């Protein structure tokens, strides 16, 4: 594996960064606002930032891009208890000359609670039945809210469901991060699944039961007395009997193996990947094989599973202080 480092001076203290699935768009959030950078292909350097206009009095806390088929859409959770969504990000509609502003989705019954995580559900363009795009938002109060784009697709995002359980505010604590299950090509019959990391070290997997119009917990990944879950990532679907979910807490990134039907998932902790510092971000390569874990010492450890199934950190990318 060859690693090429592309340095991008940001000239600001960035508190959150998000890439779209093509890695041609990068959004950054700082105390001064939001900006988007574009590039023509993944090997190229990033162009100059384009400012994204925020509604007055709004402070972003987290970012998420939609899938290519649904967008490009960019969502920002805010400390004011709302989610702001922009369409056609990076082109017309992001600068101050835009004639149409963003959509603002208010959190129902939780308006004063800051949003700590947002995540668009992946789309499945090959599925015979298409559903409106979904967007999940986790609040500091403990609830997770799911929004859907209005049926007429007029850019309005409607609150559709609220995910709460006794363990959200009890044993498991409040939600800290989110990860949707990806789709396999032409996959049919598998309902949406959403993994939720919790502040007391556990995680839950929720499934949407379409016939009942409700979300239910189908698996709980419990490891008591551990630090809050700081990152969660669902591995790409590669056609095997098991799926992979990574749950990071403290300096450990746990690799969980998921098996069985969606409504009766079995979760088994398979590996515990140790780092020198706390992990704050985890992400799989699009086609599997590699897992990247970013740590608080400005390093990214690239893990890969060996033929025996064990994970090894084969490369480390180190950031530079400005």
pLDDT at 166 over 70: no
User: Domain 1-164 is classified in which CATH homologous superfamily?
Assistant: YVTN repeat-like/Quinoprotein amine dehydrogenase (2.130.10.10)
Query: What are the DSSP E strand ranges found in 173-310?
Result: 175-180, 193-198, 203-209, 214-221, 229-234, 243-249, 252-259, 266-274, 279-284, 290-295, 299-305
8 Å CB contact between 229 and 175: no
Please, which residues bridge with residue 63 across strands? 76
Is the pLDDT higher at 267 or at 7? 267
CA 162 to chain centre: 18
Residue spans per domain, the chain? 1-164
pLDDT in tens, 81-125: 899 999 877 654 444 434 356 888 888 776 678 999 999 998 766
Name the burial class of residue 195, with classes exposed (0-12), middle (13-18) and buried (19+) by CB atoms within 10 angstroms of its CB. Answer: buried
Q: What percent of the chain has pLDDT over 90?
A: 41
Residue with tokens 């530079």: 320
Given pLDDT bands bounded at 50, 70 and 90, which one contains residue 259?
very high
Q: Does the CA dihedral 140-282-228-170 come out positive or negative?
A: positive
- The residue count of the chain comes to 322
**What pTM value is reported for the model?**
0.89
For 109-165, give the DSSP string. Answer: T-TTSPEEEEEEPPP-TT-SS----EEEEEETTS-EEEEEE-TT-SS-EEEEEEE--
Instruction: Name residues whose C-beta falls within 8 Å of residue 125's C-beta, 6 or more positions apart in sequence.
Output: 69
pLDDT in tens, 286-309: 887 899 999 999 899 999 988 888
End-to-end CA distance of the chain: 27
Label the pairing between strands 266-274 and 279-284.
unpaired
What is the rounded average pLDDT of the residues 21-48?
84
């Amino acid at each position: 594996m060859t690693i090429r480092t592309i340095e991008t001076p940001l000239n600001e203290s960035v508190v959150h960064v998000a890439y779209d699935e093509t890695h041609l768009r990068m959004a950054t959030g700082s105390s001064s606002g939001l900006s988007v950078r574009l590039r023509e292909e993944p090997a190229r350097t990033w162009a100059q930032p384009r400012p994204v206009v925020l509604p007055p009095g709004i402070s972003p806390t987290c970012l998420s891009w939609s899938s290519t088929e649904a967008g490009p859409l960019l969502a920002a959770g805010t400390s004011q208890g709302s989610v702001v969504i922009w369409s056609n990000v990076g082109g017309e509609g992001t600068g101050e000359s835009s004639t149409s502003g963003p959509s603002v989705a208010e959190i129902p019954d939780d308006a004063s609670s800051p949003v700590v995580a947002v995540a668009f559900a992946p789309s499945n363009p090959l599925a015979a039945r298409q559903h409106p795009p979904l967007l999940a938002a986790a609040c500091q109060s403990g609830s997770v809210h799911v929004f859907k784009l209005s049926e007429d697709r007029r850019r309005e995002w409607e609150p559709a469901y609220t995910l709460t359980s006794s363990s959200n505010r009890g044993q498991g604590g409040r939600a800290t991060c989110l990860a949707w299950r990806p789709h396999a090509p032409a996959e049919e019959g598998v309902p949406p699944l959403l993994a939720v990391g919790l502040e007391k070290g556990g995680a839950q997997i929720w499934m949407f039961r379409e016939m009942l119009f409700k979300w239910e917990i189908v698996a709980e990944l419990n490891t008591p007395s551990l630090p809050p879950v700081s990152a969660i990532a669902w591995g790409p679907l590669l056609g095997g009997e098991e799926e992979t979910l990574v749950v990071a807490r403290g300096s450990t990134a746990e690799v969980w193996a998921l098996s069985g039907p969606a409504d009766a998932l079995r979760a088994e902790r398979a590996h515990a990947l140790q780092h020198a510092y706390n992990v704050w971000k985890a992400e799989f390569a699009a086609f599997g094989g590699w897992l990247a874990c970013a740590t608080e010492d400005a390093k990214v450890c690239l893990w890969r599973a060996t033929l025996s199934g064990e994970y090894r950190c084969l490369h480390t990318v180190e950031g530079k202080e400005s």
